[in-house]
Structure 1
Amino acid sequence: MAATYLKTMFGPRSRILQEAAGSRASYARMEAHAGERDMLSARETDFIRARDSFYMATVSEHGWPYIQHRGGPPGFLRPIGGNRIGFADFTGNRQYLSTANIAADDRVSLFLMDYPNRRRLKLIGHAHASDDPAHIAALMIPGYTAQPERMFLIDVVGFDWNCPQHIVPRFTEAEIQQGTEAMREELARLRARIAELEGPTS
């Protein structure tokens, strides 16, 4: 349940607009179940492990929102116990915007997308950088050559699943290859059969 997420994110103005739209009563019932945090279940942790990218929002010291795309092999963002998730912060363009923002204000918001299946998971939490060897060992990716500068740990406070409306399915090259494998194998078989029937050409 996203009760804590909703209670945390809804402000007075959004509640006024919900009241005008007729949706406030439904959201109020959901918020009433909010505890200390929304606890991650197997559904969320499995989804998190399967992602190869996500978007993370932080707030600058000037009060402006900043959104950064993070990517890596599937599983580079992973649950590491309880409601904590983490990822290796690989060397990039050295602007250090997210790193600086988190040092000043540890609140973050993450968007995790599953375009083929039209699903998305939103997370909010408190983040901090770590150079603890145990965290580094837990978040390193075997065989991946990019070098991390630090590890980020995020203590998830709330989350919410969104409906598939307006999510356009998109597929990676690997997903397209997997989805068309049987068709390509059948095409190769038919071509071989045609060549066999036609016999050698002079």
Structure 2
Amino acid sequence: MPTYADLMFTDAVHAEQDAIGSKGVYDRRYAEKGDEPLGEDERAFLTSRTSIYIATVNSDGWPYIQHRGGPVGFIKALDDRTIAFADYRGNRQLITKGNLAGDDRVSIFAMDYPRKARLKLQGHATLINASDASDLATLLDTEGQGRVERIMTIRIAAFDWNCSQFITPRFDTVEVAAFIGPELERLEAENADLRARLEAGQ
């Protein structure tokens, strides 16, 4: 597996880095990565996401970003270089599918806003009809999401963890509930105790 720098630091990028004196700053970091499969941390991070952003490029060179989401576990790690998820009925524009027919390369952002963590991945994606891979469709099916129409598999070519700078922490309803739940239970118990005392004339 090439490193993220191998794929992203083109001659044009190196020229821009050279202009501001940052060329070569990352060489040692990426040289140590080498042929690096997805590790336990990366797989755990990806399979605990509730959404990811996927970028493709169309035949005219225009980039397109698609959001895909679901409950925790909707993304599965099939092995240490492949992730996959079920694709359900959406707006039926099929822009990503059309783009992949001409160029299977994708770029992915997986975000953890509360912890200000971001995993960037480059890969080769396929988007096939569920009827053509029924066993995999069953494996990837998530209860309550509807009928699986397609399956996306992504063979990871490279990945990199990004710094937390400028990531604003955000929390979904489940995370907020987990955060305030214990305190809310304590306050409700205290309130019930005070009410009982008042009713008892204490």
Query: TM-score of the superposition, structure 2-length normalised?
Result: 0.91
Q: Is the 8 A contact 1:59 1:105 kept in 2?
A: yes
Structure 1 residue runs of 5 or longer lacking an equivalent are none
Q: Does 1:26 align with 2:2?
A: no
**Equivalent residue number for residue 43 of structure 1:** 41
SS of 1:80's equivalent in the other structure is: strand
Contact 2:116 2:167 in 1 (8 A): yes
Task: Provide the residue aligned with 1:99 in structure 2.
Answer: 97
- Count of residue pairs brought into register by the alignment: 198
Q: Distance in 2 between matches of 1:108 and 1:31?
A: 20
Tell me the percent identity. Answer: 40
* Structure 1 counterpart of 2:110: 112
Q: Deviations over 1:40-80 (max 9, x none)?
A: 00000000110011000000111100001111111111110
Q: How far 1:3 moved relative to its partner?
A: 6.4
Distance 1:34 1:185 in 2: 46
C-alpha contact 1:3 1:33 (8 A) present in aligned 2: no
For 2:194, what is the secondary structure of its paired residue? helix
For each residue in 1:67-112, what CA deviation from the matched residue of structure 2 results, as whole angstroms up to 9, or x when unmatched? 0111111111111013011111111001000011011100001100
Change (3 A) 1:111 1:39: same
Query: Which residue number corresponds to residue 198 of structure 1?
Result: 198
Which structure 2 segments of 5+ residues have no match? none
Contact 2:109–2:119 under 8 Å retained in 1: yes
Q: Which residue of 2 aligns with 1:166?
A: 166
Q: Distance in 1 between matches of 2:96 and 2:33?
A: 29
Matches within 5 A, 1:105-184: 105-130=103-128, 131-141=132-142, 143-184=143-184
- Structure-2 residue corresponding to 1:73: 71
